[in-house]
Chain A
Amino acid sequence: MYSNDLIKGTLRTIILKLLSENTRMYGYEITQKVKELTDDEIQLTEGALYPMLHKLEAEGTVVTEQINIGKRVRKYYQLTDQGKEEAKEKVNEFLRFIDTMKDVLNHKNSFQPWLS
């Protein structure tokens, strides 16, 4: 399990990436998918997922579709065109970020030039 601080900054990217690979998903499905993909290393807390989904909807990044399931309503979230663009950007940005972090973390000596 990773610390909450690390997950917080990546939540938006994770949701956008998942939605870009699936036509539409509902909230519970997203949490389960994340668990499955990360071997339980990342567990999206419910407390963080829905606020972000609602914000994405308000921004026009995703749209919802409501399906009645018996006595309850299931809301499916789907990327808009604008959302698809943002998903690509966010994923690319994050991949570059990982590369940069790798550089930083692997070159220990660069921080202690007098030892080399």
Chain B
Amino acid sequence: MAELTEQQIEFVRSEILARGVNLDTLRDDLLDHICTAIEHKMDEGLSFDSAFVETIKLFGPDGLMQVQHQTLFLLTQMNETMKKLSLGFGLATVALLLAGIFFKAMHWAGAGALIVLGDAVLVLGYIPILTAHKLKESAPNEKFNAISGYLGLGVMATGITFKLMHWPTANMLMLIGFGILALVYMPVFYYLRYKTSLNKSITITSAIISLICVILVLQLMNFKNVGLYNHGITVINEQLEENLVAARSNSALVSGDKAEQLHEKVGQFVEQIDKLKLELKAATQGISEAEAANLKLSDLSRANSEVASMFRLFERKEIDKIVADVASINHDILAVFPDPMQGEMANIINLNTSNTYVSIKGETQTWATYHFQNASLIGVVSNLSALQLQVQQAENLALLYLKSQSEALRPPSAAL
């Protein structure tokens, strides 16, 4: 009986490896099988070379790879429990997410809970089961690819949920998830495909198409816009607050009891709004008011979230107090002016809280809802600053009038 030399065995081993068989135990089986078959054929008078070719032919084209695929497939068929679990998790995810989106569209309560639950089932149930199964099924060199794919998907799904719920770090999570998919999973996937594919040009084409999709999605995301918007509002708010400080350094204008009463009333109102702005910032960021004082608007997380500010202003009725205060101040300021002037001054000061407004959507709104409802946190804070400035400037107009009246009453000689 013929016996193969060490070199010949090495040659067969390298040929098996080159055909993509990387399961060690299977490789041992195939090496012994092919070598034994070659020895038998050599006994029948064939040369080593032609015996090798004949034996490999028996496996068919791509045959060795097929054996490995078939082995992995048989070894990793899901058992019944796993099949049921993964089907259950998958269906639960779809049902919960669909219901959540429907509830959200209908503005029904519980939409958020449904979406969070759906994503929790997806990320904690469905994806781990698929990953575990994929890991068993994959050849050693494909395991990393499988992990990166499911990891990227999980992080991205979590990010999207956070985004829908206006929770912090949503953008970060989405970016990380997308990054893993686009920069790790996809390149490795196409590299592996390219190495083993028969029609390389098709693989390249589909890789390029995927790349184009990634670039298009990145363009769609356009992270800069939100940042620019927040930055712009921050600058406007800083200017408003600067002007407010300037408008409040008005002690030289205060003369007489009437002026002092008005000055004190407006001062209290402005301070109260200052406090409310700090409270809003502190409550939404979960920090102390001292820390909130040093925080720029553009650095607020959830700067675009409307939920927390709505809670303070509308559900706790703080807005009603603001409306009443502004109305009272407006009344006091107008009372400073003589009757014939009051109509003109009311137009100039423009502090009438019983005015109605028409929103962008064409809905009729009250003064309070137009300025503060459905505005983002950053918008509410800067609108409060604008209100402070407006009230302060109205006060100054009244003080100026009062002072001019008292100057006019004084005899000219006294001025000398």
Give chain A's interface residues, CB within 8 Å of chain B.
Answer: 26-28, 31, 45-48, 50-55, 58, 66, 69-75
Bound-state CA distance A72–B75 (Å) is: 24
Measured between C-beta atoms, what is the minimum distance from A44 to chain B in Å? 11
| Interface-centre pick from B6, B9, B36, B75 (highest chain A CB count, 10 A) | B36
B59:A46 contact, CB within 8 angstroms? yes
Q: Is B213 an interface residue (CB 8 A)?
A: no
B75 A50 Cβ-Cβ under 8 A: no
Instruction: Determine the distance from Cα of A8 to Cα of B140 in the docked complex, in whole angstroms.
Output: 28
Indicate whether B32 reaches chain A with its CB closer than 8 angstroms. Answer: yes
Assembly CA distance A72 to B73 (angstroms) = 26
Q: A52-B74, A73-B32 known; A28 and B37 CB under 8 Å?
A: yes
Docked Cα-Cα span, A55 to B6, in Å, equals 31
**A50: which of B9, B26, B36, B37 is its contact (CB, 8 Å)?**
B26
Q: Known interface pairs A28-B37, A55-B75. Does A50 touch B32 (Cβ–Cβ under 8 Å)?
A: no
B387 within 8 A of A: no
User: Cβ of A54 and Cβ of B25 under 8 Å apart?
Assistant: yes
Q: What are 21 A-B pairs with beta-carbon distances under 8 A?
A: A27-B29, A27-B33, A46-B30, A46-B59, A46-B63, A46-B67, A47-B59, A47-B60, A47-B70, A50-B26, A50-B33, A51-B67, A55-B75, A66-B28, A71-B6, A71-B9, A71-B10, A72-B32, A72-B35, A73-B32, A75-B29
In the bound assembly, the distance between CA atoms of A61 and B28 in angstroms comes to 20
Q: A46-B67, A51-B67 are in contact. Are A69 and B60 (CB under 8 A)?
A: no
Q: Does more than half of chain A's interface fall in helix, strand or loop, or is it mixed?
A: helix
Interface presence of B368 (CB below 8 A): no
B33's partner among A28, A55, A66 (CB-CB below 8 A) is: A28
* Cβ of B239 under 8 Å from chain A: no
Residues of chain B whose beta carbon lies under 8 Å from any beta carbon of chain A: 3-4, 6, 9-10, 13, 25-26, 28-33, 35-37, 58-60, 63, 66-67, 70-71, 73-75
Distance of A28 Cα from B73 Cα, bound (Å): 22
> A70 near B36 (CB under 8 angstroms)?
no
Please tell me if the beta carbons of A28 and B32 are within 8 angstroms of each other in the complex. Answer: yes
Of B33, B59, B75, most A-chain CB atoms within 10 Å:
B33
A7 → B minimal CB distance (Å): 14
Contacts of B9 in A (CB 8 A): 70-72
Q: In the complex the two chains form, what is the Cα distance from A71 to B4 in whole Å?
A: 9
Nearest to B77 among chain A residues (CB) is A55
Docked CA distance A56–B37 (Å): 23
Residues on A with C-beta less than 8 A from B75 are: 54-55, 58
**Could you say which residues of chain A place their CB within 8 Å of the CB of B31?**
72-73
* A27 adjacent to B74 (CB under 8 Å): no
Q: How far is the CB of B26 from chain A (nearest CB, A)?
A: 6
Q: Looking across the interface, which residue of chain A has its beta carbon closest to that of B37?
A: A28
A28 to B58 Cα, complex, angstroms: 13
